[in-house]
Structure 1
Amino acid sequence: MECNENSRAKFYCCSCFYTDNIFLEEYKIHVRYISEQQFTKDYQMVLRNLGCVTNEQFKNVTEKIEKEIQRRRLLGQTSTERTAFISEFYKPLHSHVYVLQESYLAPEFLEIVNFSRSEDANVEGLLNLIESLAVPPFFILGAERTYRFPVFTKEFCRNLIEELENFEQSDAPKGRPNTMNNYGILLNELGFDNRFITPLRENYLQPIAMLLYPDCGGDSLDSHKAFVVKYALHQDLDLSYHYDNAEITLNVSLGKAFTEGNLYFGDMRQVPISDSECVEIEHKVTCGLLHRGQQFHGALPITLGQRWNLIVWMRSSSVRNKLCPMCNKTPQLVGEVGFADGFTKDTFLQNAEQRTCSIN
């Protein structure tokens, strides 16, 4: 028996990636698409109420959805091709930013991490070092576990943005993070994963998450998806209300100068949106917001300038293997490359497959 690449993969996607949570930018909603018949039944009246009133408009919507599904099905292949091209032909402006150094990290962040690693670490002590955003009416919402603290130095943020701008201006192919962000960059394709994001997650963010979020995977984060998003006039100005495909999310404001564009947070996705209120939070340059991925949030429009954010979706396979956070079902695994969407096969089955591959 020949063992193919997918059966040896450590991380997987859920099959709902090809059907669910498809964002329609024009109408600011996420939809599910199994077939044209199902979609028409479920969404024709919804879209009509949002301004999609003609048959031609509805046909354009379905064509865009089918194109997006095809993009998702080819994502692993095209991402691998882009990564290879970038690695061979792209010339970095600041090659040093690709390797995490403690000198890039804010002294306050290092203090937080060192405390979290210590034998005496506890939640009460940690909350004395970070800014908890649990203030009325935020606490009332049940979404009180959102925190803010410095992460990087201003110099590193400036160098990283210069590197990202250099990449944006190059001829290298660019994959975008998702259908909600048209001007972002996937950091794994650019070469940040192994020497920057993975050690950041494992050595610095994991100790903090273990204390703050042990009940939702903070003590077992084993993969991530990292990307940057860019907000600017005549480009993406804001980000619609949504939740993340993650257990824990870190959102760091890198700069530049901008006005407005506060983030806003609501309740967890299990609470109906109609019952949820929102609270605005200022996003300060060099600081990160740490929150549960399943908490609804968005970004208000900037009115001037340009802002770059670093987003790290951190995932726990032991949590998401039980229930896919995007379709609320037992995940149906499909193969992908890299960290995929953070699902893993049952350890016993994975070991059995590896033994079968070895024997044959």
Structure 2
Amino acid sequence: MGEFYVCSCFYTHNFYIKELGLHAIYISKEQFLIQYSKVLKQHGYSTDERIQSILSQLENELQRRENLGPAFLHRKSIIREKYKMLHPEIFQLKTEFLQPEFLNLVNYCKQSDATVGGVMQYLEETQVKNVYAFPVFTDSFCRKLIEELAHFEESDCPKGRSNTMNHYGLSMDEVGFNDFITTLRVEYMQHITRLLFPEWGGGNLDSHKAFIVKYKVGEDIDLGYHYDNAEVTLNVSLTDNYQGGSLYFGDMRTVPLPDTECSEYNHVYGVGILHRGQHMHGALPIYSGVRYNLITWMRSSKIRNQLCPMCNNKPDLVKTVGYGDGFTADAQQITDVCSLT
């Protein structure tokens, strides 16, 4: 694996505040209170106590991001030493975990004369433009993966949550599935994405961030309208014992919400949906059961080195660990993370 970076906007942009339904910029308390004064008033945040609760969330999230690299390495070291796998055989991807329809799709895409029109014959209709669906994992693999995740949750190993929007998910890399996801991206998904998303680096997806999201009544039950920090996203449904929770899609993030009509998609067990990372989407509330999804944000450094998708500027690179946010030194300007804290 080469050397990857984050953009410095990772420490200032896209701070999610669920109560406000807002992805905010947070540079300082003063800047935030001035920039979002109207939004705060609209949501009834008029007292010092209520405003301070928002500011505390932002400060906690900033500290989490600043400590992310060392904390990640610390957790991963403990997990590697202490965690006893329930199903060790699933930590490396094998063809027997994959649906025959998926293997047929990939085999077609590998052909030198494969076309977009030909690919469509292997895909399921979603009725959402540029969102594609196809079976990915077998029932047996999905069951074992869920059992493994539950086993990990019950262990005393540290847990690093996947993002600010989902509080009960898990990082696939920390649990030990990085090689699994790398194989999925390189040997399978990239053959599909090079045909469906060529202009968005589909043939050069050189890094990823993979995580589990979990929805359960009394915990997280939905997901707000957002876009992903990815060129292409694969979202695989791992369970079918829940009700509600339909996905909904709007347009690309550059299209204002008032001009967007959203379309629903009922995700099916074992099926993956593939879409542009910047395609706005969300998840409606579940009202019974437990829903697990495997999300893989696939990134192309050739695309994001030109323009950071989170701040819309030439990326100002900050050294990090692992894949970071998928930027490479080709984007030039590099900042030491210590100068940001």
Pairwise TM-score range, normalised by the shorter structure = over 0.9
Structure 1 counterpart SS, 2:157: coil
Question: In structure 2, what is the Cα distance between the partners aligned to 1:348 and 1:252?
Answer: 35
C-alpha displacement at 1:273, in angstroms?
A: 1.5
Q: Aligned match of 1:170 in 144, 155, 167?
A: 155
Q: Which secondary structure does the structure 2 equivalent of 1:198 belong to?
A: helix
Structure 1 position 160 matched with structure 2 position 160: no
Residue aligning to 2:69: 76
- Residue 52 of structure 1: aligned partner: 45
| Long gaps (5+) in structure 1 | 1-7, 139-143, 351-360
Q: Give the CA deviation at 1:276.
A: 1.0
Q: Does 1:149 align with 2:149?
A: no
2:315–2:333: 8 Å Cα contact kept in structure 1? no
| 1:203 and 2:190 matched | no
User: 1:90 pairs with 65, 83, 89, which one?
Assistant: 83
Superposition misfits of 4+ residues, deviation over 4 angstroms: 347-350
The answer on 1:20 being equivalent to 2:13 is yes
How far 1:51 moved relative to its partner? 2.3
What residue in structure 2 maps to residue 280 of structure 1?
Answer: 264
**1:327 has 2:311 as partner:** yes
Matching residue's letter, 1:154: D
Contact 1:210 1:218 in 2 (8 A): yes
Structure 1 counterpart SS, 2:146: helix
| 1:292-330 Cα deviation digits (max 9, x unpaired) | 000000000111111110000000000000000000001
Deviation at 1:334, TM superposition (A): 0.2
Greater shift in the superposed pair: 151-160 or 30-39 = 30-39
Q: Report deviation, 1:56.
A: 1.4
Equivalent pair of 1:9/1:337 in contact (CA under 8 Å): no
The CA deviation at 1:347 is: 8.2
> Could you tell me whether the CA contact under 8 Å between 1:132 and 1:145 is conserved in 2?
no
Q: Is contact 1:9–1:336 with CA below 8 Å preserved after alignment?
A: no
Shift of residue 236, structure 1, vs aligned partner:
0.7
Distance 1:67 1:199, change over 3 A: same
Question: 1:266·1:278 contact (CA, 8 Å) conserved in 2?
Answer: yes
Deviation at 1:346, TM superposition (A): 1.7
Residue identity matched to 1:267: D
Change (3 A) 1:125 1:9: closer
**Partner SS for 1:306:** strand
Structure 2 gap ranges (5+) = 335-341
Distance (whole Å) between structure 1 residues aligned to residue 124 and residue 240 of structure 2: 23
1:191 counterpart residue number: 176
Equivalent residue number for residue 40 of structure 1: 33
CA–CA separation in structure 2 for the residues paired with 1:220 and 1:279: 29
Give the Å deviation of 1:119. 2.2
Percent identity over the alignment is: 52
Could you tell which deviates more after superposition, 273-282 or 244-253? 273-282
Deviation (angstroms), 1:348 = 8.8
Counterpart amino acid of residue 191 in structure 1: G
Identify if the C-alpha distance between structure 1 residues 65 and 217 changes in structure 2 by more than 3 Å, giving closer, same or farther. same
Between the aligned partners of 1:128 and 1:257, the Cα distance in structure 2 is: 29
Structure 1 segment 104-143 matched on structure 2, within 5 A? 104-133=97-126, 135=127, 138=128
Aligned residues: 334
Distance 1:348 1:277, change over 3 A: closer
Q: CA RMSD in A?
A: 1.5
Question: Using the alignment, how far apart are the partners of 1:154 and 1:169 within structure 2?
Answer: 23
Distance in 1, matches of 2:45 and 2:85, equals 44
Deviations 1:156-208 (A, max 9, x none): 000000000000111100000111000000011111112x0001000000000
